[in-house]
Amino acid sequence: MRLSDTIEAFIKTMMQEDQEACELKRNELAAYFHCAPSQINYVLSTRFTPDHGYVISSQRGGGGCVRIVRIRASRVDRLSYYLNERIGDSIDEQRALIICRQLKERGTVSPGEAAMMAAAVSRQALGVPVPENLKDALRARILKSMLLSVAQKPEETQGEERKAADRDDPLNENGR
């Protein structure tokens, strides 16, 4: 596991499920991980963005205190956001896989559903001899169609599927 992955996991662990926010000191975290404060900045600016469901506020002075706030939204709001804002008419494989992982991490889709979505939009599934821009347009349509299908299922049904699928999570990065 790379250092940036370790730092991200550590911060997410600090931010328990029931907490809306946490505060940390950039320099103390850098000392803990034996890295430069810029490495902490990199993790914060790439892994704790509004697209990932977080807002960061930074205070000057006082040792560089950083406050991370988790954005809470309903499942319908999250799905609507992805359908209307994140996917668009075209999406590349990397961005599509990031969306699948984020949907799983936020509990919007079950781990099994996320794995199926990732497989459907993968390079292997779309390995036909057509231009990349057509593949990206097709990938966006597939992903949107799958999200619309998930949105039509009752939320309580998804919760039960999620619990059952957590045991065999193929997208679980911590299980590698």
Same structural domain for residues 42 and 100?
A: no
Q: In this predicted structure, what is the pLDDT of residue 134?
A: 95
Of 26, 45, 70, the residue that ends a domain is 70
Angle formed by the axes of helices 132-151 and 93-105, nearest 10°: 20
Same structural domain for residues 43 and 86?
A: no
- Domain count of the fold of the chain: 2
Backbone angles phi, psi at 25, to 5 degrees: -105, 125
Answering whether pTM is above 0.85, one says no
Q: What is the largest CA-CA distance in the chain?
A: 57
Least confident piece of the model among 55-59, 91-95, 141-145: 55-59
Same structural domain for residues 93 and 57?
A: no
Rounded Cα–Cα distance for residues 131 and 150 (Å): 29
CATH of the domain at 63: 3.30.56.130
What is the average pLDDT score of the chain?
Answer: 80
Tens digits of per-residue pLDDT, 138-155?
Answer: 999 999 888 877 776 665
Specify the 3-state DSSP secondary structure of 127. coil
Of 52, 70, 88, the residue that ends a domain is 70
Better-predicted residue by pLDDT, 38 or 78: 38
What average pLDDT does range 27-41 have in this prediction?
92
Same structural domain for residues 105 and 162?
A: yes
Same structural domain for residues 156 and 81?
A: yes
Q: What is the DSSP secondary-structure string of 32-75?
A: HTTS-HHHHHHHHHHHSSGGGTEEEEE-SSTTTEEEEEEPP--H
- Containing domain of residue 115, as a range? 75-175
Same structural domain for residues 84 and 65?
A: no
What average pLDDT does range 2-17 have in this prediction?
87
Tens digits of per-residue pLDDT, 100-143?
Answer: 998 888 788 899 999 999 999 999 999 989 999 999 999 999 99
Of 29, 45, 70, the residue that ends a domain is 70
